[in-house]
Amino acid sequence: MMGAEPGLAVCAAHEDAQATATCARCGNNVCPLCLEPDSALPDHCGACRARVGGGQMAWEREGLPWLRRWLLTTREVLLRPTDTFERCAPGPWTASLAYAAVTGALQAAVQFCFLLCGVGCLLAAGLWEETIGPEGREPLFVWIMVGVLVAYPLMVVGFHLLLVVVRALLFHAGVMVSGGGEGFAVSFWGAGYVHAIQLATLVAAILGNLPLIGPLITLFVYLAIEVWTALQLTTIARVRHHLTPQRATLAGWTPFLVFSAIGVGCCALMILWFVSTPMWPDQ
């Protein structure tokens, strides 16, 4: 690194760098290494960003196109989740809900494209009637298929929003049991932004089609998603609900434990049904 020229202002944090601006909070000289243009506080030095708490999520900032705000927020949450939730103060719960809705809509758009490609391939190969059956030519069936295609993106977005609400309720229940000091809006705010990891389900949807190992990969991806989510909720419980590390762990992992219990219960019921059902009818 080249040193600062004699007679010019020097950065307060980097003595070998020339100052190019001053921090909007403390007034110290700063250099480009101190500033983060894409952060919620682009005119603050690193120390002040840590003290203030990062201000807002990029999604909650005004003056930027929605797609850029979504990309910045997704990058921060996925690549630097712990640092992001420690620096960024909770904002409106409606903002995090809107972020989750956009995330679900973009995921639905990708899945919808794959669905259209699949239908198009069947039609182009002349396999539609062979796959669907003779009723595939019936006008009523065609209209039902059109309705399903139109409603599919809406159903996906609705599922994502429902998942955020359920996760927020379970998380806040764990927070209350653990003695958390903040309201439900903080829990909902966190549950909305950690929903960014659900983009990984697109990988599961693609790799799940592999023969033999596809279902195993899908199971592993979904398990990894829930573990990652639990870890970030633990950070939110510790930093924003002011819980001890042990109590924060209990609160953060509450949704994972509940979902796991439901999954194990469903598997047990399926096994019982399979065992109790005769494989061959009585002659």
Domain identity same for 27 and 95? no
Model-wide pTM > 0.85: no
Q: Which residues make Cβ contacts (< 8 Å) with residue 212, sequence separation at least 6?
A: none
Residue 234 in any domain: the answer is yes
Domain identity same for 35 and 104? no
Domain identity same for 88 and 29? no
Domain identity same for 162 and 122? yes
Q: Which residues make Cβ contacts (< 8 Å) with residue 4, sequence separation at least 6?
A: 10, 11, 15, 16, 17, 18, 19
Nearest-angstrom CA–CA distance, 131 and 133: 6
The helix/strand/coil state of 108 is helix
Domain identity same for 83 and 134? yes
Residue 41 in any domain: the answer is yes
User: Residue 237: which domain range?
Assistant: 79-276
Nearest-angstrom CA–CA distance, 267 and 262: 9
Domain identity same for 153 and 40? no
Domain identity same for 108 and 234? yes
Residue 66 in any domain: the answer is no
The whole-angstrom distance between residue 226's C-alpha and the CA centroid of its chain comes to 10
Work out how many domains the chain is built from and give that number.
2
Residue 268 in any domain: the answer is yes
**Alpha helices in the chain, H assignment, sequence order:** 46-52, 66-79, 81-87, 93-124, 128-132, 139-178, 184-193, 201-207, 214-239, 245-252, 254-276
Domain identity same for 146 and 83? yes
Residue 61 in any domain: the answer is no
Domain identity same for 46 and 103? no
Q: pLDDT value at position 260?
A: 92
Angle at 211 between CA 277 and CA 229, to 5 degrees: 85
Domain identity same for 206 and 96? yes
Residue 70 in any domain: the answer is no
171-221 confidence digits (pLDDT tens) = 999 999 998 878 999 999 999 999 999 999 888 888 877 888 888 888 899
Residue 180 in any domain: the answer is yes
Q: Each residue's pLDDT tens digit in the chain (283 positions)?
A: 444 455 578 888 888 888 889 988 888 999 988 887 766 577 888 777 766 655 678 899 888 899 999 999 999 999 999 888 988 888 899 999 999 999 999 988 888 887 777 767 666 655 555 556 565 566 666 677 777 777 888 888 999 999 999 999 999 999 999 988 789 999 999 999 999 999 998 888 888 778 888 888 888 999 999 999 999 999 999 999 999 999 999 999 999 999 999 989 998 998 888 888 766 555 4
Last residue of a domain, one of 39, 55, 71: 55
Contact 189, 90 (CB under 8 A): yes
- H or E element in which residue 30 lies: strand 29-30
Residue 73 in any domain: the answer is no
